[in-house]
Structure 1
Amino acid sequence: MTVLNTSDVDTLLKQNPEWKLESGKLVRDWTFENFVQAMAFVNRVAGLAEAAGHHPDIDIRYNKVRLGLISHDAGGITTRDAKMAARLSHELV
């Protein structure tokens, strides 16, 4: 698995503007009305991630959820992360 170069990551971020690059990861934040909604969202993420065999870093703070994508085994952002970011954005709207 090849790590995306800077140009590829820039293109990815333009195609998925709700995601940003932070500390070498693709990250996106979601805010919900309450903790229960945030947890329901995380459970939906878990199902998609398990089906894809690619698991995001998940940070939950009451009604706020942050997902982080990086292919730790490849040492950076790969096409697997790009596909997962797009899938999470489109299937969890």
Structure 2
Amino acid sequence: MSKTLTDPELQTALGSLHGWAKNGIAIERKYEFKDFLEAMKFVNKVADAAEAAGHHPDIQIVYSRVTLQLTSHDSGGVTHRDIKMAGRLNEIHP
């Protein structure tokens, strides 16, 4: 189990993660795509990255809008693992 980040640590980390913000015990980013198919192509890339990392975001899809949330459930909050995964997801779609 990883240690959850303190609020100052989390704010510092979020400063370098475009589009991500704290939402409760998670970090979240919202994406807007041209249409449903583009959104699903992105979600499939997210799934591949999540499987490779062994760390899976919560995913909400509403037509062309996708919301990703990351939290370390075993730690009860955001850890360095979530920050690293958010960075990887930003590589997929800056």
The TM-score, its normalising length taken from structure 2, stands at 0.95
- C-alpha distance in 2, partners of 1:70/1:33? 28
SS of the aligned residue for 1:58 comes to strand
Q: Tell me how large the CA RMSD over aligned residues is.
A: 0.9
- C-alpha distance in 1, partners of 2:91/2:31? 14
Matched, 1:90 2:94: no
The TM-score, its normalising length taken from structure 1, stands at 0.96
Cα displacement (A) at 1:24: 1.8
Q: Which runs of 4+ in 1 moved over 6 A?
A: none
SS of the aligned residue for 1:15 comes to coil
Cα deviation digits, residues 15-71 of structure 1 (max 9, x gap): 113100112210001100110110111000000000000000000000000000000
SS of the aligned residue for 1:60 comes to strand
Aligned to 2:16: 15
Please tell me the residue identity of whatever aligns with 1:10.
Answer: Q
**Count of matched residue positions in the alignment of Structure 1 and Structure 2:** 93
Among the aligned pairs, what percent are the same residue? 45
Matched, 1:66 2:67: yes
Structure 2: state its 5+ residue gaps.
none
Contact 2:39 / 2:64 at 8 angstroms: preserved in 1?
yes
Structure 1: state its 5+ residue gaps.
none
